[in-house]
């Protein structure tokens, strides 16, 4: 696991750290708090999700919105 974290880009690590602070966040919150571009945040979220570190949940009241959250110890 730690070897995977070492291979992350700085922007992806920043998104992961920010998500750990927020617990649950929307894309606009991640963009605002990290200062990264939308493209960088989306890439980071995709990478973290593929690694199994975060979950992506769909908002049931507005299916256009996604919520990102860090997975709890597996």
Structure confidence by residue, pLDDT tens digits, 30-52: 999 999 999 999 999 999 999 99
Which CATH entry fits the domain spanning 2-70: 1.10.3680.10, 2.40.160.40, 3.30.230.70, 1.10.10.10? 1.10.10.10
Q: What is the mean pLDDT of the chain?
A: 89
Work out the pLDDT band at 25, boundaries 50, 70, 90: very high
Q: Provide the pLDDT for residue 1.
A: 59
27: left (phi over 0), alpha (psi -120 to 50) or beta: alpha
- For the cut 50, the answer to whether the pLDDT of residue 74 exceeds it is no
Nearest partner of 34 among 22, 18, 58, 12, judged by Cα: 18
pLDDT at 39: 96
């Amino acid at each position: 696991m730690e070897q995977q974290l070492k291979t992350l880009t700085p922007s992806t690590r920043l998104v992961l750290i920010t998500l750990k602070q927020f617990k649950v966040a929307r894309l606009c919150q991640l963009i605002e708090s990290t200062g990264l571009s939308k493209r960088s945040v989306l890439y980071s979220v995709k990478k973290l999700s593929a690694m199994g570190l975060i979950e992506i949940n769909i908002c049931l009241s507005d299916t256009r919105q996604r919520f990102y959250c860090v997975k709890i110890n597996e």
